[in-house]
Structure 1
């Protein structure tokens, strides 16, 4: 889960390991426009919660020009969340489909990516009706990608695996405070309730504003960072996106979610209509209504997903972010929303 914005400090070449510098210098030496492959400028990018991310620049022969790439150094312990080899395969597939940045190089604990000349969205961009419609259309396209390999829903296995990991890491009092012992039953309850006739597709599973970029000139949307991507119900991906509208990771308290910012009914309907109609089909109101119902129920799965992520991250990640407070908020939302969304279930 990464959110990025503009560079925040000047050259920080000492931030990156020697192995990475050598890989960068080797890469730059092959580019004719770079004046000096050794004259790299390292600029940390703010807001990442899983990885360390840097913009790398070299002066070029053109006046005031520079050649840029992105370096991503993987966070400690994140291999508990996903298989890094799977993520690289996804990254390379997406690149070949023209869906994201090209992979320029790899090193033992990270990679070098093409620098996309587009702007990362801000929290407020998600509320812009025009931008939201562009995101909806792009997400529909994303869901239609034919990723090689099995096309099985990953959500429930992932939740159970993360629960097992969280239980193994949590001290007893911490586990009791967030009712971890109740989660196995809750996951099974959700799976039973939601695993009916579902439309499945290749999902991003982390569609927050920092993972969406826009080209200001062409208005083209690019979805980046595929660490959590897998086959899942479309409704889960959309539900997760709606939940992310309550977040702003670039404040003094980035872990605090403001659920008063969860999109209202008209806003959700507008997004879903844009999503369903983006392929040129006529959309019936009943289709929007049914998808809206599915999406709302999948917000519960999203809350459990990121609550468990927060608990595990508290124990494996050194990035300055209050993961446990974030996890508690997601659990609180789960328990408060569950009776409204599943009134027929025991509370």
Structure 2
């Protein structure tokens, strides 16, 4: 695949207003109100009527929509001033670089791909509400929507520059085990500037619990698998500079918003979508971002019968490629879009097992830190099972032994 030169990294990121207050999950109403009034002091007026509407599609953070239902305002006017309050899940700093997340949001905002970021607070952020309807897993399987998703992912990959940064090693703390860990993370994939999806997985493996012998064995096993994945996949050619694009890496249904104007069928209007929640966004092979999104067609229940068939993936990727090469700077003059479609279809097939590994490690950590009512341990086994099923399907020795394909692998191989 031809590469494109990324734009220079955006400068001046990270100068956002900070509100020195925390959201308290044990006292949600008053702490949320305190944060909103710090941002919008005019909402303390006698005619204000502040209301908080929870969103429950995610399994990491608390997300609240804050509105001021003053008398006489229409729903449109209320939504225009609405604010989203996102409080980080307990302990998730071990998984997510929050400074990096803020940079991601500001960068996407500059590219016209994210709502205005209004402020950070001690354990979260405040940003403008995007009007629209979050999709459900079943929506992702509708052609009008999955083609809209393909166009939006392509826009991200073609137009948003990757920001890379290497942690400078100094004397003191960085000379300790922490410094050694950071060096291992930064150099996880030779020749790939950090951060990237490989360094993220390396960071997560090093953060796995190791209190028991069983946990230590599991960490060592997962480290061996990551080493193998990096050796097999990290140097494959792909779109973007260094084979990396600015990827969302968490395109589950709740993070895909159908824009209001696209719900109107009049005049043959094309469906449009936006993406929210950029905490996992990082430079990644385009094929990983696509394979990861396809995995989300089955929702948190991992319904493998809902996975896209080869025909659906081909239709999606053909739309992606058409949009990507229309938007990418310095488009190659001799690009063959159908050839690029077939290449990316094959690459996405190659990466199909990696999302299970990625989210399996994530869930193992969440099982030890999260206060959210979700069975992360079971989810970890489901996602890692997807990875092992992929490994078995690509292991010739096991194939010769007559071991059958997993349910997920059978669905992925389905043509229509």
The residue number in structure 1 matching 2:55 is: 45
In structure 2, how many angstroms separate the alpha carbons of the residues matched to 1:333 and 1:24?
42
Does structure 1 residue 296 correspond to structure 2 residue 349? yes
The residue number in structure 2 matching 1:204 is: 248
Give how far 1:48 is off: 2.2
The residue number in structure 2 matching 1:155 is: 197
Q: Number of residues paired by the alignment?
A: 323
Q: Which of 217, 229, 232 matches 2:281?
A: 229
In structure 1, how many angstroms separate the alpha carbons of the residues matched to 2:88 and 2:140?
27
RMSD after superposition:
2.6
In structure 2, how many angstroms separate the alpha carbons of the residues matched to 1:345 and 1:157?
30
Q: Is the 8 A contact 2:48 2:69 kept in 1?
A: no
Does structure 1 residue 164 correspond to structure 2 residue 206? yes
Q: Which of 220, 224, 228 matches 1:185?
A: 224
The residue number in structure 2 matching 1:106 is: 120
Give how far 1:316 is off: 0.6
The residue number in structure 1 matching 2:105 is: 91
The residue number in structure 2 matching 1:275 is: 320
Does structure 1 residue 115 correspond to structure 2 residue 129? yes
What CA deviation, in whole Å up to 9, does each residue of 1:217-275 have, x standing for no partner? Answer: 1333111111011111111101100111121x4xxxxxx31112211110111111010
Give how far 1:43 is off: 2.0
Could you list the runs of 5+ residues in structure 2 that have no partner in the other structure? 1-24, 166-192, 263-270, 327-334, 402-416
Q: Is the 8 A contact 2:210 2:216 kept in 1?
A: no
Give how far 1:345 is off: 9.6
CA, structure 1 residues 94+319, in 2 after alignment: closer, same or farther (shift >3 Å)? same
Give how far 1:23 is off: 2.9
In structure 2, how many angstroms separate the alpha carbons of the residues matched to 1:148 and 1:165?
24
Does structure 1 residue 317 correspond to structure 2 residue 317? no
Secondary structure, in 3 states, of the residue corresponding to 1:168?
coil
Does structure 1 residue 239 correspond to structure 2 residue 239? no
CA, structure 1 residues 107+18, in 2 after alignment: closer, same or farther (shift >3 Å)? farther
What CA deviation, in whole Å up to 9, does each residue of 1:128-157 have, x standing for no partner? Answer: 111111110110110121144446461222
Does structure 1 residue 16 correspond to structure 2 residue 28? yes
> Is the radius of gyration larger for structure 1 or structure 2?
2
In structure 2, how many angstroms separate the alpha carbons of the residues matched to 1:297 and 1:344?
18
Q: Is the 8 A contact 2:55 2:64 kept in 1?
A: yes
Give how far 1:79 is off: 0.4
In structure 1, how many angstroms separate the alpha carbons of the residues matched to 2:39 and 2:135?
29
Give how far 1:284 is off: 4.5
